[in-house]
Amino acid sequence: MNNTLTTIILAAGKGTRMQSAKPKVLQTLADKPLLAHVLDTCHSVNVDKTIVVYGFGGEQVKNAMADYQLTWVEQTEQLGTGHAVKVTLNELPVEGKSLILYGDVPLVSAETLTRLKQANVSGMSMLTLTVDNPFGLGRIKRDEQGNILAIVEQKDADEQEQAIREINSGIYCVDNALLHKYLPNLSNDNAQQEYYLTDIVKMAVADGIVISAIEPEHEFEIEGVNNRQQLASLERQWQTKLVEDLQVKGVQFADPTRVDIRGEVTVGQDVFVDVNVVFKGKVTLGNKVTIEAGCIIKDSQIGDDVHIKPYCVFDEAEVGNEATIGPFAHLRPKTVLANNTKLGNFVEIKKSTIGEGSKVNHLSYVGDAQIGANVNFGAGAITCNYDGVNKHQTTVADHAFIGTNACLVAPVTIGSAATVGAGSVITKNVEENALAIGRGRQVQKSNYKRPEKKK
Angle between helices 34-44 and 110-119 (to 10 degrees): 60
Q: Is 43 annotated as catalytic?
A: no
Is residue 339 within 8 Å of 320, Cβ to Cβ? Answer: yes
C-alpha to C-alpha distance for 80 and 437, rounded to whole angstroms: 77
**Contact residues for 315 (Cβ-Cβ < 8 A; gap 6+):** 298, 299, 300, 331, 332, 333
Measured between alpha carbons, how far is 137 from 104 in angstroms, rounded to an integer? 16
Alpha carbons 381 and 366: distance in angstroms, whole number? 8
How far is residue 328's CA from residue 77's CA, in Å, rounded to a whole number?
A: 52
Q: What contacts 349, CB < 8 A, 6 or more positions away?
A: 317, 329, 330, 331, 332, 335, 337, 343, 360, 365, 366, 367
Among candidates 104, 101, 199, which has minimal Cα distance to 153? 199
CB-CB contact of 347 with 361 (8 Å): yes
Q: Among 43, 180, 362, 392, which one carries the catalytic annotation?
A: 362
Q: Name the nearest CA neighbour of 375 among 361, 351, 362, 359.
A: 359
Q: Which residues of 264-277 are buried (b: 16+ CB within 10 A; e: fewer)?
A: ebebbeebebbebb
Decide if 286 contacts 268 (C-beta within 8 A).
Answer: yes
Known catalytic residues are 362
